[in-house]
Amino acid sequence: MKRTCLFAFALLGALGHARAEERKSEPVPPENLYFETDEFIRNPKYTVSVGVRRLSGVKTSMSGSGTIKQSGVKFDPTIDTSDPTLCDPRRVYNDGAVGIDTRWDYRYDSNGAPVFAMNGGVAANPKATPENGYIPADGKTNNWSTTYASQLTADGKIAMHAYEAKTLDNGPGVGQTAATDGMEVVISHDMSPREKRFSWTLMTGMSLNDIRSKLTANVTSDVTTYTDLYTVTPKQYPTSDADRTVTSPYTGGETVRVVLRSRDGAIVYQVDSNGNSTGTPTYVYVDNSHLLQLDPSRTVTVDAGNITNVINSYKLHGAFYSLRMGPTVSLAITERLRVVMSAGFALAYSGSTYTVRSDFIPPSEDATPFTVVEEGTDKHFLPGFYVDANMEYWLTENTGLYAGGVYQNNGTYTQRIDSETADYATRVDLSSMTGFRAGMNYRF
């Protein structure tokens, strides 16, 4: 027994000596072994997310009324002989026009003989001048035109037409909208210690989405037709009986070659270099148009509550920027997969253009449809809130993917077109927008 104890003590001593020799061969630990590990192992605190953001679209309702009249149509001339600068007898219709008379008279001297100008031509004065209100003494004009054959009436008169529609507000119509795609950039700062299953961050994000909405509908309107009936004077120098009859369409006057006469009706003969008569008549060109009497009779007809002649196309297009700020919490499901929730403040800056196009179909078959466009722009700041729910999958320690759902509410605003001829409005609703977001995360 004693021998066994001595052997055991000897074995323990040998093992202890061997362990001591082994420790002598190990390197000596540095003096700064007990430093803070965060100073040497960097913990990423920031995450940048870049991706797409698809929302359900802005909801709109559109209403209003306006006056539909073809641009340039003016059938009530301004005539004021006391102020020549205001004299303007011109009229423009949907199917024709009446202009300032362009005829002229030969100038005669006190003896009734034609006065010749320096270039050898006969001196002349226009019949329509600012001094007489652009209306010649005979109250007629050679400057007019028509578009359709039907404007010539059975009794040989000319009918000119102008059309106007005043649309009635049928109440708001719901615009057709589609989901809108946009881009987003988000940066977040991690507020939690490293390698925590549950963590939270503060995020700030910017996103851009477009605004698109449209509506097309027949609108109720009061359609007014103005008909001016003009008397026509036959040609002064007809070459045949048919020349006396006016035709339509009519595009302006014509000239004819006639013998020059003095005021007493005597023929004016050409003279030679010595001033002697050659016996050859002097010929000149004069206006030989059908003349329109500038005092038409007018009839006005109104088709109230018309639902077929005006088609309105409403369109709202633009974009809105969103600034989102708020806390984000995440829960690790696995080492790579996390569930992320975020909610907070959202400020939207919206800029949009509201366009109303009115296509008018005149009640007459012999009339050309025309279009009137009204447009207005507007900008608004709209505070609100957002809620996001996402899944994150980290491919590496610093890069990953995300995808999830979006809810954003920024309220509503009203955009108007307010002019002399229109009063249209659209209610733009940026509340209850839902959709999804997806993209990539980069942590640094």
- Domain regions of the chain by residue span: 45-68+176-222+304-443, 84-166+224-302
CATH topology of domain 45-68+176-222+304-443: Porin (2.40.160)
Tell me what the pLDDT averaged over the chain comes to: 87
Can you tell me the distance from the alpha carbon of 196 to that of 216, in angstroms, rounded to the nearest whole number? 56
Q: What's the pLDDT at 81?
A: 62
What is the per-residue pLDDT for 15?
A: 37
DSSP 289: P
**pLDDT, position 40:** 44
Q: Answer with the residue of higher pLDDT: 33 or 167.
A: 167
Helix (H) or strand (E) holding 18: helix 2-25
At residue 238, the pLDDT reads 87
- 3 state SS of 215: strand
How far is CA 360 from each of CA 97, 159, 163, 220, 316, rounded to the nearest angstrom?
20, 21, 9, 12, 21
With contact defined as beta carbons under 8 Å apart, do 421 and 369 qualify?
no
Residue 274 has pLDDT above 90, yes or no: no
Task: Kindly report whether the peptide bond that precedes residue 363 is cis, defined as omega within 30 degrees of 0.
Answer: no
Q: What does the block give as tokens for 31?
A: 């003096």
Average pLDDT over residues 114-124: 90
Given this model, what pLDDT does residue 7 score?
37
pLDDT for 436 equals 94
Residue 158 in this model has a pLDDT that exceeds 70: yes
**Separation of alpha carbons 319 and 183, rounded Å:** 12
- Six-digit token pair at 304? 């109230």
Query: How many residues are present in the chain?
Result: 444
Indicate the helix (H) or strand (E) that contains 19: helix 2-25
> Is the per-residue pLDDT at 91 higher than 50?
yes
Q: Identify each DSSP E strand in 307-369 by its residue range.
A: 310-332, 337-360
* Confidence class for position 273, pLDDT limits 50, 70, 90: confident
Cβ-contact 334, 392 below 8 angstroms = no
**Tens of pLDDT along 9-57?**
443 344 344 444 544 554 555 555 444 544 445 567 899 999 999 998 8
> Is the confidence at residue 267, as pLDDT, over 50?
yes
Q: Under a CB-based contact definition with an 8 Å cutoff, are residues 232 and 290 in contact?
A: yes
Min mean pLDDT across 157-161, 172-176, 226-230, 349-353 is at 172-176
Q: Which of 75, 144, 69, 70 is nearest to 103 (CA)?
A: 144
Give the Cα separation of 185 and 196 in Å (integer): 25
pLDDT reported for residue 132: 82
- Give residue 388's pLDDT: 96
Residue in the block written with tokens 């009229």: 91
What was the pLDDT predicted at 42?
A: 57
Phi, psi of 365 (to 5 degrees): -65, -35
Q: Which residue has the higher pLDDT, 183 or 179?
A: 183
Interval 315-366: pLDDT, tens: 999 999 999 999 999 999 998 999 999 999 999 999 999 999 999 999 998 8
- Model confidence over 200-257: pLDDT tens digits? 999 999 999 999 999 999 999 999 999 999 999 988 888 888 888 899 999 877 889 9
pLDDT for the residue numbered 12:
39
Q: List beta partners, residue 91.
A: 98
Residues 109, 115: contact at Cβ < 8 Å?
yes
Q: Which two tokens stand for residue 48?
A: 């940048």
- What pLDDT shows up at residue 181? 86
At 435, is the secondary structure helix, strand, or coil?
A: strand
Four-point Cα dihedral 433, 434, 439, 440, nearest 10: 90
The answer on pLDDT for 441 being more than 90 is yes
409, 411, 417, 422 alpha-carbon torsion, rounded to 10° = 110
Tell me the average pLDDT across 262-272. 92
365-401 confidence digits (pLDDT tens): 889 999 999 999 999 999 999 999 999 999 998 999 9
From the CA atom positions of the chain, what is the Rg in Å? 45
